[in-house]
Structure 1
Amino acid sequence: MITFIVSAIIVGAITGGLGRLLLPGRQDIGWVATIFAGIVAALAGTAIAHLLGFADKTWLTLVVQLVMAVICVGVVSNMRGKKGSRA
């Protein structure tokens, strides 16, 4: 169980960090939010790869995970930006 948690944090950090690098502009989110977004993106990307039937193709799964990371980081960044602004 500990190994799963540690590996999820490591994969989340890498995936979230790459998602932030690929997303244009500045994301005003912290490292914890980046890791959580990366974990969600990795899980969602793997689930999508399984549903579409190409989970055995590692590179395609990684591409889907990175696309999901960009989406997740963008959503978290937008949520954070709207929370702090007042109209």
Structure 2
Amino acid sequence: MELTLTGIIVALIVGLVVGALGRLVVPGKQHMPLWLTLVVGVVAALLGTVLARALGVATTAGFDWIEFFFQVALAAIGVALVAGTGSRRRLTR
């Protein structure tokens, strides 16, 4: 797989969207910078794709809704973990 500038830009955009949707799914306010949302989103998008391929649901006609669900769910889990870790760290200072 060749990494192109276009591929990297698309991955960043998808990661930002997935990370933002993950933040929307998690209740309450998360105190996370935009760059951390992007990182969580990109990691969740990659892991969601791997999970969908492992389960055999990544190749469907049209938009891959199941894969997208996995990505957003993993982003929500990642946001909850990162936001929870950050709030605990602030309380102990």
User: Under a length normalisation based on structure 2, what TM-score does the superposition of the two structures give?
Assistant: 0.86
Paired with 2:49 and 2:90, the residues of 1 have a C-alpha distance of: 32
Gaps of 5+ in 1: none
Q: CA deviation at 1:23?
A: 0.8
Q: CA deviation at 1:82?
A: 2.0
Cross-structure match for 1:71 = 77
Cross-structure match for 2:7 = 4
Paired with 1:13 and 1:59, the residues of 2 have a C-alpha distance of: 17
Q: CA deviation at 1:72?
A: 0.9
Paired with 1:65 and 1:29, the residues of 2 have a C-alpha distance of: 19
Larger proportion of helix = 1
Q: Does 1:54 align with 2:60?
A: no
Amino acid at match of 1:25: G
Report the aligned-residue RMSD.
1.3
Q: Does 1:33 align with 2:36?
A: yes
Q: CA deviation at 1:83?
A: 2.2
Paired with 2:7 and 2:42, the residues of 1 have a C-alpha distance of: 12
Cross-structure match for 1:22 = 25
* Structure label with greater radius of gyration: 2
Amino acid at match of 1:61: E
